[in-house]
Amino acid sequence: MKRILVTGATSGIGRATALRLAAPDTEIIITGRRLDRLEKLKSEIEAKGAVCQLLNFDVRSEAECIKHLEPLGRVDILVNNAGLAAGLEHIDKGDSADWDAMIDTNVKGLLYVTKIISRAMVEAGKGGHIINIGSIAGTEPYENGAVYCASKHAVHAISQAMRADLLSAGIKVGEVRPGMVETEFSEVRFHGDKERADGVYRGVEPLKGEDIAEAIYWMLNLPAHMNVNDMVLMPTCQAGAYYTYRK
């Protein structure tokens, strides 16, 4: 049975990915901070014939990562999805609490989880596959997004270095870097201001979490000798972080 760990599975890309990868021959391990959503997702995953284990904790806490993840032992696939954007202001008006949330989740949380899971993969000696969810912001910084962009630049660099670190262990490392995806992302960024969040997608047809999940599924099912290092996905109305055509 293939064991798959998806972090940040309570909404958006994480939730869609956990459901897309669920099959009778899999155990899906889902993590997140909202227990009610994890429980609902667990039922949906089990309805697809998969085994499901839920872990209710915050990846920002290294102690919680150790407590919940070390007992798992080896997993075959890790999808590092947990992440967020908070705030959209010029650097001189930024909120340091938002900065801490982004760096602690997007960078340090990813590192805490990866250290534990990759170590178990290496010790088992059977390879594995790690996919990190980055962003086009990881190579295209934009106005008002200094710290979020910096966190995703870090994910991009960590992915590249991780691939080298784990190469001799036969562990594949890939990164998916989406452009505009309509999830709770913007609502979280604007601290629950739904009207402002909806404006981000006005006049465009963005990607959905299910689109990213489908790409991840494809990456994971390539032949053993093939790896996708870096996949950039955007809706057809977007040409980059700075160019979006709105009708």
Catalytic residue numbers, as ranges: 148
3-class SS of residue 180: coil
Residues 6 or more apart whose CB falls under 8 angstroms from that of 10 comprise 32, 33, 34, 37, 38, 41
Gap between the Cα atoms of 224 and 244, Å rounded:
37
Q: What is the DSSP string of 84-114?
A: -------GGG--HHHHHHHIIIIIIIHHHHH
Q: Return phi, psi of residue 170, to 5°.
A: 70, 25
Tell me the two tokens of residue 73.
């032992």
From the CB of residue 127, how many other CB atoms can be counted at a distance below 10 Å?
14
